[in-house]
Amino acid sequence: MEGQVITPPHVELPQSGGTNYTQWTQEALISRIRHLESSLETNLLNSEIKQDSLTILPKSTAKPDFDFSRYTSRLIALKFAYIGGPYQGLEYHFGSDTPFPTVEEKLFEALLKARLVPPKTYYHPDGSIDTTQVFTSGSTAGIEDIGKWVDLDSWEYTKCGRTDRGVSAFGQVVGVRVRSNRPKSKPEEILGENALVEDVDDSSTPKGPIEPAETDDETPEFEDKDELPYVTILNRLLPSTIRVLAWCPNPPENFSARFNCQARTYHYFFTNPPAPHNPGEQPRVLDIDAMKTAAKYYEGLHDFRNLCKIDASKQITNFKRRVEEADIVKVGGVTPVFSLEPCETSQRMLERRPETYYFKLTGSAFLWHQVRHMVAILFLVGQKLEKPDVVKELLDVQNMPTKPFYNMADDRPLVLWDCLFDENEVKWVYPELNRAKPSSREDVIGSLWELWHNSNMDAMLSGGLLAMVYGQQETRRKRETVERNGDLAMTGNDNSNSSNKKKVRDSTWIVDGSPMQTSFGKYVEIVKRGRMETVEVINRRFAARKSEEWRQKWSVEAKRERGIGDMTDYDHDE
């Protein structure tokens, strides 16, 4: 009888609704167990839950710490700023450790801590939901392994422009669906936000998800002024180097912070002179007029393959980008902290202080490290190592189809200044900033003042020390000049031309935007330098190292067959 399923004898069910197994024989009980096991295996095989796609986590009896089904949600846009120095760029890297946290890591952490977005749901192999708490160490601590709680798809999360390590942003924009104070419509209040109509005992009602109410009577009135104070909530949880500035309550339908953005503006700051000089010598200043002339050649639609870093992982073939504006702008109203010539009058100090400029660049989209490559060429022009026409030569890909070898500019002075949208579609709401308690994190003005004050004090102290050292060197130089002139009058020997004079090294100092210049050997013009391989060769070599599955989906040929364009889907921002 082994393996044969025996139908158990009919037993009258007790009032509790359970089966009374006390009167069953041993063989009948064994057969019943096998029958139930067989049914369970069949149900699991037919289930839509795939065993290999489940993340196995320890079971927990803890209840979820927040019930998002009790609230409505809405898609909003956030405008925020950050100082890039302490971060490993904007984008969070799932599954990889970075030396510094990313800006998105801190933003995701704040969104989760504020319960503005739901954590990602995980299932056990048996289909039950894992209820492990997101905040195992309390709400004030960081979130351990934050990547497993991030669900960009359900959050409808999009970002405008990616910035790399060290790069700052003053007008970054993201779109995200967040918890709202909006009351639920009447059907939602009765059934629950995600309830099915089939749960209601009404056979005449069609089954399926609840549709939004079509009449105004079904949805209570709600004004955005009664909404959750998103800006204040997030600033309370974010570090002082990341500040949310505004929010857009009603972005257009299917809003994407990336694709709805019409233009992006970058500023790259630099000083003139760009580096310290020896006391008694004239500072090496940049030729601003020549840089302005060269910058204007960037404007218009051009192929920038020689002015970016080739990202073979994206298999890009179209490097044309449109630049709306490119210019060199002087920063005014900056109080000097030291003079290039010590012991001068106040007016003379104003005239001799290091000046600050920025390269302003506006365009619809940019390639990887494009801005920093463009700035590097402008610095060479400003040093008179290259003529402004070198920009034209680099943009002429017919005569220069491959990129010459040269270094891009430093990352720290670069700022994503603003992301521009249609003002009729994206209307920013800037909350009042004078209601927060002093010294609190949500006090945007106070926290930024503290950041500026500390940095300015450091600048004043270091500037004063630098001025003192310049003064001491100037005094020493004058004393040596007097002594040398005295020796010359007494002996008639000019020691300044002695054989002990140091030999000047035959090298070139290159400005790259960092605090100190970089020393190279004899300078070689850009057009005479060695070249990289063609874009086609770089793309093919990268694709050859990838799997066949990857090549069938992402190679240049596969993308061309699927009609995927580089300009919209796979362009990089700085």
CA distances 471 to 148, 272, 343, 474, Å, are 57, 20, 7, 5
Count of other CB atoms within 10 angstroms of residue 283: 15
Q: Is residue 335 within 8 Å of 324, Cβ to Cβ?
A: no
Does residue 409 sit in the same domain as residue 334?
Answer: yes
pLDDT computed for residue 142 by the predictor:
61
Flag whether pLDDT at 561 surpasses 80. no
Does residue 93 sit in the same domain as residue 239?
Answer: yes
Does residue 217 sit in the same domain as residue 343?
Answer: no
164 is catalytic: yes
Q: How far apart are the C-alpha atoms of 512 and 85, rounded to whole Å?
A: 17
Flag whether pLDDT at 208 surpasses 90. no
Residue 92 maps to which CATH number?
3.30.70.580
Report the Cα 283 to chain-centroid distance in Å. 37
Least confident of 255-269, 339-353, 382-396: 339-353
pLDDT computed for residue 93 by the predictor:
82
Length of the chain: 574
In a domain, 164, yes or no: yes
pLDDT computed for residue 354 by the predictor:
81
Least confident of 25-34, 201-210, 433-442, 490-499: 201-210
By the 10 Å C-beta count (0-12 exposed, 13-18 middle, 19+ buried), 285 is classed as middle
Last residue in a domain, options 196, 214, 245: 245
- Our count of domains for the chain comes to 3
Does residue 85 sit in the same domain as residue 226?
Answer: yes
Does residue 314 sit in the same domain as residue 176?
Answer: no
Domain hosting 16: range is 1-46
Does residue 240 sit in the same domain as residue 336?
Answer: no
In a domain, 59, yes or no: no
In a domain, 425, yes or no: no
In a domain, 349, yes or no: yes
Does residue 129 sit in the same domain as residue 11?
Answer: no
Does residue 141 sit in the same domain as residue 226?
Answer: yes
pLDDT in tens, 447-461: 888 888 888 888 878
Q: How far apart are the C-alpha atoms of 369 and 458, rounded to whole Å?
A: 30
Does residue 107 sit in the same domain as residue 228?
Answer: yes
Across 302-328, average pLDDT: 92
Q: Is residue 45 within 8 Å of 61, Cβ to Cβ?
A: no
Provide the pairing of β-strand 263-272 with 242-248. Answer: unpaired
Q: How far apart are the C-alpha atoms of 541 and 557, rounded to whole Å?
A: 14
In a domain, 542, yes or no: yes
Q: Is residue 477 within 8 Å of 279, Cβ to Cβ?
A: yes
Question: For helices 230-237 and 444-491, what crossing angle results, to 10°?
Answer: 50
In a domain, 39, yes or no: yes
Does residue 545 sit in the same domain as residue 408?
Answer: yes
Residue 404 maps to which CATH number?
3.30.70.660
Of 523 and 34, more confident: 523
pLDDT computed for residue 243 by the predictor:
94
Provide the pairing of β-strand 414-420 with 168-180. Answer: parallel
Residue 54 is encoded by which pair of tokens? 């489940």
DSSP states along 180-197: E-PPPPHHHHHH-TT-BG
Of 514 and 187, more confident: 514
pLDDT in tens, 348-381: 544 567 889 999 999 988 999 999 999 999 999 9
Does residue 77 sit in the same domain as residue 2?
Answer: no
Of 571 and 420, more confident: 420
SS3 content of the chain, % helix, strand, coil (to 5): 35, 15, 50
For 80, half-sphere exposure in the C-beta direction (CA atoms, 13 angstrom radius) is 26
In a domain, 34, yes or no: yes
Q: What is the pTM of this model?
A: 0.75
254: left (phi over 0), alpha (psi -120 to 50) or beta: left
In a domain, 106, yes or no: yes
Helix (H) or strand (E) holding 271: strand 263-272
pLDDT in tens, 398-439: 999 999 999 999 999 999 999 999 999 999 999 876 555 555
- Who contacts 337 (Cβ-Cβ below 8 Å, separation ≥6)? 353, 459, 460, 462, 463, 464, 467
From 126, 164, 487, 506, active-site residue: 164
Q: How far apart are the C-alpha atoms of 47 and 27, rounded to whole Å?
A: 30
pLDDT computed for residue 488 by the predictor:
62
pLDDT in tens, 321-355: 999 999 999 997 655 455 555 545 445 544 567 88
pLDDT computed for residue 352 by the predictor:
61
Q: Is residue 359 within 8 Å of 566, Cβ to Cβ?
A: no
Does residue 22 sit in the same domain as residue 153?
Answer: no
